Amino acid sequence: MVKLTINQWAEEDRPREKLMRIGAENLSNAELLAILIGSGSPRQSAVDLMKEVLSDCKNNLNTLGKMSIQELEKYKGMGPAKAVTILAACELGKRRQGARAEERPDLGSATAIYEFMHPKMQDLDVEESWILLMNQAYKLIKAVKLSYGGISETAVDVRIAMKEALLCNATILALAHNHPSNNAVPSTMDDRLTQRIKHAAETMRIYFLDHIIVTDGKYYSYRESGRL
């Protein structure tokens, strides 16, 4: 019986395509390892090769990680490059277990937003606009620079702001921009932008937390000023 290579499988069954379609958590250990090694041997696919290796390890990834390069190379189709790749992946998994989860900044107040953004903006001689995307606990998911340039104002595309929020599954967002003049008083353009962001966020059912104007040493908060 002729053994099909992975490239001859139906596309929905190929490990790489499956990962992109349904997520890494839904693949077997053999399929994940097959993605790493890329290919098997003329007599078996990468998935079948990894099933054989895992079977000899009693399907225990800890046991796999303790194998030597020489032991892995005994399998047909497993060269030194593939063996090194597998052991490197096992070591990364071990190190991840010992690593602490990344602490996400809590940006639930105007002061917290200002303290987060001030170091990025304090030396700028032109305006920058950023959106801060958060989860329901006001923890930062992602900070995105929307625009750069201009001494008195900078253009912000509200559509990009909303797109970024949706892609990150953010439920809360804040807007921040600096005034190089060091005058924290909002302009008419700032007011208009605030309303545009507010309306767009309401349409997308995203909570618009605040619009902060950052200067060196002080800030203006639309929320604290009762304008949101």
Residues 78 and 153 occupy one common structural domain: no
* Measured CA distances, 39 to 47, 52, 87 (Å): 8, 14, 16
Which residue, of 39, 71, 98, is where some domain finishes?
A: 98
pTM of the shown model: 0.62
User: Are 43 and 134 in the same domain?
Assistant: no
pLDDT digits (tens, 9 = 90+) for 18-31: 998 899 999 999 99
Q: What's the pLDDT at 57?
A: 95
Residue ending a domain, among 66, 98, 130, is: 98
Nearest to 69 by CA among 56, 57, 82: 82
Q: Which domain holds residue 134?
A: 110-221
Where are any strands of DSSP class E within the chain?
128-134, 140-148, 172-178, 207-214, 219-221
- 90 and 115 both lie in a single domain: no
Residue range 53-102, pLDDT digits in tens: 999 999 999 999 999 999 999 999 999 999 999 999 999 998 888 877 77
Q: Is the pLDDT of residue 7 over 70?
A: no
The predicted structure's pLDDT at residue 133: 97
Residue ending a domain, among 67, 98, 129, is 98
Does residue 24 share a domain with residue 46?
Answer: yes
Q: Is the domain of 26 the same as that of 83?
A: yes
Residue 113: band (very low, low, confident or very high) from pLDDT cuts 50, 70, 90: very high
Q: What is the pLDDT of residue 13?
A: 61
